[in-house]
Structure 1
């Protein structure tokens, strides 16, 4: 710690040996099929790929393109609630936990959970998880656990080049700028991602796969997502910051673009709802002040206002090899979408 910083830093135990022993884990991305498209995302210990994928599988059997705004939002909110209930029970670091990734992303499991959703009623939260290893249609249990806190300061970039390569990249070091502590002489920030662990089970009666442990990676919600067509060509790629709201931001943007036919920039700008297996669904002002909020409350939804949810960026492949870049118009002061032309 620089003596001139004025900060009193507690001594840590991180050693050069720890840095030498660290290895990046190369994980096979998650994959699910949605409306005939391949949806690829980040595997555990991130919960993004499995949770977005499960929610899409739950929505697969609903025609969202012709649904009213009320029915569309109701189905999206309930699919999010169910997927988060299952996330909390089953997703953690696969080096330490038995994460049934394949089963969580199976259509059979999604169908067994989708049948819980009714058009004229709302599921109670926290909702109990299902068992993807032994799916039972419409099964409900009593060992539910709400979603634990997760930091919201993250960065996402989505990039494509003229050759058709696409990168969806989400970087998180928790607080904006991380811990605010730079390693002297090394130039990198210390990461605060340990805060994504559940330091106490949300429900002691339910196994929590995200409790901390030596060498264990915390569960995140990173959801960098690339969608490919039947010939493995990119259709759209996107992602967002926002802690656990990353998942709902990506899910809502995808359904807005793929199902509702919204231009990508409008799907990103649309007012958001975020349900994460909680008693109340968070709404941005554009939905909070709308008639559809009252329509949804009439069937049992409960809401609380959130001034801002997520901050997405994305790229879309256009005919003729062109690309469209899109970012937030207003959230977090507005995003950045541009064409970069290298000079050398």
Structure 2
């Protein structure tokens, strides 16, 4: 919603051990930032050092990630931002998820009444949702920031102009996307050479993206949603810039779709776990609700006192049940009446917990529970259906920033699949999302395509508090594995007592109510795997890297510790301000 790494990319990374340095951890007393990009973290720190707050620094980091990590995020997509405002002691969230163009119908991804091939849907104008990122950044800065677009975009403009080297990770992603990118002339020109991925070490300059950022710096968000840039987006969606002989589905986006786009300021999902208050993202993201339900189920067990395998078995089973309910109920709240209060209730969690066999994995995919029974409002006419688990893009990015005043941002944003739709907007240098493939291609289901609707997401930016004070943030990319990455990291940190860097670096297990649990390379055959196999758990046959998490821990002594990945996605970067700022 990153990060799965294909076997080729993993082989490249293993061949470059320098990319797998010691876990990036930084501790200090000032503002902090953790991202998967050194240049993005540096951009955030530069803004903090100039007096900007966490919101200003977040936009600076995000804009830079749009340059250096363009295949997972950028202004052609959307996201969810969870913000803690220290002065007011409150948490707010900004939903700038992409919306379906007004031309959308439930049958948009069907032919002759049957769903079309997923990859065919991705590489098309039809997969592109109305981007919300720019409007989301504007709302964040206007409401809660202290700086202008001109100030916070300056670092990213410099990176786009001067260029950045192709890393082994980025090269691997280009290789993975050669087929898709080669369909579009504007994309091939930027990221391929003679139809092949740019070699490691090549300096990539993106003057068109620098131009797009300059227009935003000059005219504000309207530069994206009205005028020449908006027209370029619409043209790219409706008449994709294809190379000779290529053919893809066209979209049906209009200038009105862009100019009418609105963000939503939503109440966060609030839950509790072992004395902590957790705040996450509400619908249309399923992340906050699903993480909370799984934790509510796990709260009934004394995981600390158990053998590790027994506790991990329960983690997997709780995740399985929570995903069954997620798939049955959750979607855009403006289109779907989901029993969120029921799902979040401790009573519902107790009922779901009673279904877990502490000694054996569920033998098959489990059905959803009836969360409507735990709603205060009994007027709901709907009951859950057992929905097909749709394939979901896994390529997103997460970052987190805090400032010396105590403000915090946990932010996940995306263009969906690696490289999104594959379409670079001619003249503006950014990739368009394929977010519409996050809809279920057929129904009935709460997440079917509809005009103006926001597809269900799994993004789960989270901020945790203890006794009213910030304790930690956590978030990750990874499609539906975002939920399990955040959940597992919280369990590792709070229940197993791991330091945050170890909690993040531990092998990830992602159970999403499917026949096999998704695992990473090297897990199958390990002692940990064999211990869980004794409970009946099964693993995916093609292990891939899961997620690229970032966190900040607020220590009891007043210091902060920023933590990024120690090995995934080529290693992240954690920075903390030095004294004097």
Q: Indicate the structure with greater helix content.
A: 2
Corresponding position of 2:37: none
1:266 and 2:502 aligned = yes
| CA distance in structure 2 between the aligned counterparts of 1:343 and 1:199, rounded to whole angstroms | 54
CA 1:342–1:26: 2 relative to 1, 3 Å: farther
Q: 2:254 aligns with which of 1, 4, 15?
A: 15
1:220, CA displacement in angstroms? 0.8
Matches within 5 A, 1:241-320: 241-305=477-541, 306-320=543-557
1:224 matched to 2:484 = no
Is this contact kept in 2: 1:223–1:247, CA < 8 A? Answer: yes
1:183 deviates by 3.5
Residue 124 of structure 1 corresponds to which residue in structure 2? 363
- After superposition, where does 1:165-204 map in structure 2 within 5 Å? 165-184=407-426, 188-201=430-443
Equivalence for 1:52: 291
Alignment gaps of 5+ in structure 1: 202-206
1:154 aligns with 2:388: no
Distance 1:46 1:143, change over 3 A: closer
Asked if the contact 1:78/1:117 (under 8 Å) is kept, the reply is yes
Superposed displacement of residue 122, structure 1: 1.5
Question: Which residue among 296, 300, 313 is the counterpart of 1:61?
Answer: 300
Report how far residue 61 of structure 1 moved: 0.9
| 1:125-180: CA deviation from partner (whole Å, max 9, x where unpaired) | 321000111159xxxx9963442110000010011111211110000111334334
Higher relative contact order (CA 8 A, sep 6+): 2
SS in structure 1 opposite 2:540? strand
Aligned residue in 2 for 1:204: none
Which residue of 358, 380, 386 corresponds with 1:144?
Answer: 386
Contact 2:392–2:479 (CA<8 Å) still a contact in 1?
yes
Larger Rg: 2
Q: Give ranges in structure 2 of 5+ residues lacking alignment.
A: 1-183, 190-240, 376-382
Structure 2: distance between partners of 1:177 and 1:317: 34
State the alpha-carbon separation in 2 of the partners of residues 66 and 164 from structure 1. 35
Checking the alignment, whether the CA contact within 8 Å between 1:126 and 1:145 is kept in structure 2 is no
What is the number of residues matched between the two proteins?
334
Residues 1:149 and 1:316: Cα distance change in structure 2 (over 3 Å): same
The alignment's TM-score, normalised by the length of structure 2, stands at 0.54
Which whole-Å deviations, capped at 9, do the CAs of 1:196-239 have from their partners, x for residues lacking one? 111024xxxxx5211111111100100001101122x1101010
- Closer, same or farther: CA 165–303 of 1 in aligned 2, 3 Å: same
Measured in 1, the distance between the counterparts of 2:423 and 2:538 equals 40
Classify the secondary structure of the residue corresponding to 1:76: helix
Distance in 1, matches of 2:271 and 2:452, equals: 29
